[in-house]
A and B are shown apart, each in its own frame.
Chain A
Amino acid sequence: MRVAFILSEIGSGIRRNLSMVTSVILVTFISLTFVGAAGLFQLQINQMKGYWYDRVQVTIYLCVDNSSEASCAAGPVTEDQRAAIEARLESDQFAPYVDTVTHETQEEALVHFRDQFANSPIVDSVTAEQLPESFRVSLVDAEKYEVIDEAFSSEPGVDAVSDQRDFLEAIFRYMNWASVVALAIAGIMTFCAILLIATTIRLSAFSRRRETGIMRLVGASKAIIQLPFILEGVIAAVIGAVLASATLWGASRFLIDGWLVNTFPQTAFISSQQVLLLVPVLILLGALLAGISSLLTLRRYVKV
């Protein structure tokens, strides 16, 4: 009986405040779309970070005959120096930072070089002796590349340590910045949603003050009086969240699956499947937004 009663109260409330309910749906739809987009952006950043981090290597170039660095003044790297560097890379001291170490001889360097510049005429003029041999170090945590640089750049027999720092820092700076902006927009939109839901509930409570007054007089409990308002807001917000989810999913199929993946085949993109993971989060968030803002509003406006 009471369930039926509350449902009919919700129904009449929604019918009476159709325009306000619609605006709650729209504002939660838009704000949750932003929140979801920010979430997807973050997922994409993480994915790309993972992609880059897996490929980040610090390269320790060893001295060769024609090295110009001061550390190579004593001539090409010796057997002992190379062994010392390798032993140090594999020592306990660097175990927390170093994942794998591979040694690249001058002959292997030449093979790589030829691969890389296959279309260039300089390939034929380069010999193995001109290319440095190197240690390719992959890292446990790609952001700790400085450790290797500091430890090895002045080691005897080391020509230079190259760590792709500038390149990575630029990429991650832009990405972090973009995700902060996306989160800020999502935060502002969420704030707007809370305010609008609170206003709607307040108007709804005002337009039904006759009912609530009578309910109070005949001894209806606080829950019975307030539940229709809360559920009304929650239902509208959940509809908004569903619309936002559908929009994000459609957009990701269209943008990512249909375009980005084909245009940038080298880059790892999130899949539209991952968007589906976001759906329960958005719905929960929408329900929570509406529930909390209506509870706070009702405490002040529907006296019991």
Chain B
Amino acid sequence: MIRFDDVTKTYDPTSQPALDAVSLDIDRGEFVFLVGASGSGKSTFIRLVLKEDRASRGAVYVAGQNVANIPSWRVPRLRRGIGVVFQDFRLLPNKTVFANVAFAMQVIGRSRAVIRETVPDVLATVGLEGKDNRMPHELSGGEQQRVAIARAIVNRPGILLADEPTGNLDPTTSMGIMKILDTINQNGTTVVMATHDDDIVNTMRKRVVELRGGSVVRDDAQGIYAGRPEAMAG
């Protein structure tokens, strides 16, 4: 589903690359943790999958297609196939929960009827039944992140990328979010999650890819989060 083929990403030629000759294969339906210290290149990995940035060297394949060969007018289509969730939720503060999720369908031209039918289902999936008309500031952090997840999956993407989705949440709330991500993964969506949270990684027992200084230093099928204290810094 996602394949990195000897990918190097250099933002600034004078410093060392953010990703250094990374080769990685993520299959359809997999759940992968991307771990590593702050600055190890996790977010860069995610940006390359979304074609927000171009690889300096090597090739990034998403769903079998080399993203470098996707013309800019087709990039939106690539992104429709990928849901993204961030640490800071990125909700629209002046829209209700329903409107925030519906927004993702409106901008790609879904009909009102389809939106009215789909959004409540997705809100139920993330455990937000009955909160359609709340504003984001009336929600807890965990609930806001659920709205963000609902928005990310409402168009049924094949891939869900999560960049430290539990970074701002307490452990209990985080586990709730992880359950939702797991459910989404069970339904067939490939999930890639960048995180610092060792408890989560150790509990979930999924594939763990560890980055250090832009290189893959570990890739365990049912791994744990080994590197600890310095990772918590970022």
Contacts and interface: CB of A to CB of B under 8 A. Distances in A.
Interface of A: 1-2, 5, 12, 210-211, 213-222, 224-225, 304
B90 A220 contact: no
Contact of A218 (B72, B104, B111, B112): B104
B90 A218 contact: no
Instruction: Classify the secondary structure of A's interface with B.
Output: helix
Contacts of A213: 90
Interface of B: 50, 72-73, 75-81, 84, 90, 92, 94, 103-104, 106-112, 151, 155
Contact of B76 (A1, A5, A211, A221): A221
Given A213-B90, A219-B79, A1 B155 contact: no
Given A1-B109, A5-B106, A215-B107, A222 B90 contact: no
B73 A218 contact: no
Nearest to A3: B109
Given A1-B106, A1-B111, A5-B106, A222 B76 contact: yes
B149 to A, nearest CB: 13
B92 to A, nearest CB: 6
Contacts of B108: 218-221, 224
B217 to A, nearest CB: 29
A298 to B, nearest CB: 14
B107 A210 contact: no
Contact of B78 (A12, A211, A219, A304): A219
A62 to B, nearest CB: 79
B78 A218 contact: no
B80 A1 contact: no
B151 to A, nearest CB: 7
A214 B80 contact: no
A2 B109 contact: yes
Contacts of A304: 72, 75-76
A220 B92 contact: no
A267 B103 CA distance: 63
